[in-house]
Amino acid sequence: MSQYAYLCLGAQGQELRGQLEAAGETEARSILKAQGLKVLHLAEGRLGGNWREQLGRLGHWLSRMRSIGTGDLVLFYRQMQLMLRAGHTLLEALTACAHLSSKGRMVDALGRIAAAIQRGSSLSAACSSEKELFNRLAGKLLEAGEASGELDAVFERLSMLLERRGEVRRQLITALVYPGFVLLAAIGVISFLVLSVVPRFATFLTGRGKAIPWAAQTMLDSADWLGQWGWLIGMGVIGLGISLPLLRRIPAARFQIDRLVVRLPVLGGAITSAAMAQATWTFGVLVKSRLTVLEALRTCTQVVANAGFSRAFARAADQVLVGRTLASALDQPALPRLVRHMAAVGEKSGQLDTVMESLGLHYQKELDARVKLLAAMIEPALTVVIGGVVGFVYYAFFQAMLAVSTGA
């Protein structure tokens, strides 16, 4: 008989560690499965083990500490779609996804979901209890997929939704990262010249009894002013950066901030296009999955990050609840008129899901164009402003050099 150390999942999804005696690994696995446990790790030896086993346990623990990202969820949805279409049962597909996942938290969550399904729970209910992985939108779509028998199609739509949302976020971030980096680099160069180089030349000129050129004097005055008030400006910027996220937690303040952001030139149009791309495409997917228009509108309020648009969809849902048509309910000041018009077309044609998905693709293309326009406008503007400031600093620098060399 040999000693075997094991790591298993219990019936409630909890981790269980221990050791047992068995004639071989096969017998050890059979004993654990007979107890209703799901074997995650089984190795010959005692729990203490040597340093290799300890290192392996450390790696196993670290894998369970890694967070689950959007890419992990997209991969899981794609795998479930392929396995269900290939004829796997739901439990077989979940078990296979758990074995294929490299994230310990994902493995644990899938184990708990599988255990809940074995106890008689539905997939949507089991997934809804795992709030770290599945939001309300996923729960609604899975519930609709169970009712229609199209779970594979639902998993495909969920993966497409997450990919689309991630693409929108990447586009907006990309449009702002490069200008922000250039701005920070320019601030560093200008600060070095103003605070280090020009004052040395001014001290040298003053020591020789020469007059400081006007450009250098301007830079010195600017440096003195920044030295006196720069800390206050820095504190104000830091305070603004801290207060804005805190203010957004207050519903009334978040609503006003989001309304103001939408009205900004160029950037406001990009934010509107991003919100409408997410909302309309999600609406089409939900309706195609046989959710009601009311449920789709209420889900859109959670998909859209902007509080102004979210409130508009919530009001539209309230109006649909009292019997108004979708087109009239979407007649909200915050929403573009194109959304209401296309909703009316979809209602008349009976193809509301297809029309709204097409509208989402239209706003996606519009977002691409607006992001390119935003980048095209920001880069030249930064070049002109930063180039002008750097040029003036260099002019002051060389004017001081000429004053030293010519004595003028």
- pLDDT tens digits for 159-185? 887 887 777 677 767 767 777 777 777
**Residue 127: per-residue pLDDT:** 86
**Residue 56: per-residue pLDDT:** 55
**Residue 52: per-residue pLDDT:** 55
Q: Is the pLDDT of residue 54 over 80?
A: no
- pLDDT tens-digit readout, 93-120: 888 888 888 777 788 888 888 888 888 8
**Conformation bin of residue 375: beta by default, left when phi > 0, alpha when psi is -120 to 50:** alpha
**Residue 188: per-residue pLDDT:** 78
- pLDDT-derived band at 45 (thresholds 50, 70, 90) equals low
- In the chain, % of residues over pLDDT 90: 9
**Residue 320: per-residue pLDDT:** 92
- pLDDT-derived band at 312 (thresholds 50, 70, 90) equals very high
Q: Is the pLDDT of residue 60 over 60?
A: no
Q: Is the pLDDT of residue 63 over 60?
A: no
Q: Is the pLDDT of residue 401 over 80?
A: no
Q: Domain limits of the chain?
A: 2-65, 70-134, 160-408
- pLDDT tens-digit readout, 134-155: 877 788 778 877 877 778 888 8
CATH architecture label of 160-408: Up-down Bundle (1.20)
Mean of the pLDDT values across residues 385-396? 78
- In the chain, % of residues over pLDDT 70: 87
- Write down the mean pLDDT value for the chain: 80
Q: Is the pLDDT of residue 47 over 60?
A: no
**Residue 100: per-residue pLDDT:** 83
- pLDDT tens-digit readout, 66-98: 667 788 888 888 999 898 888 888 888 888 888
**Residue 107: per-residue pLDDT:** 83
Q: Is the pLDDT of residue 55 over 60?
A: no
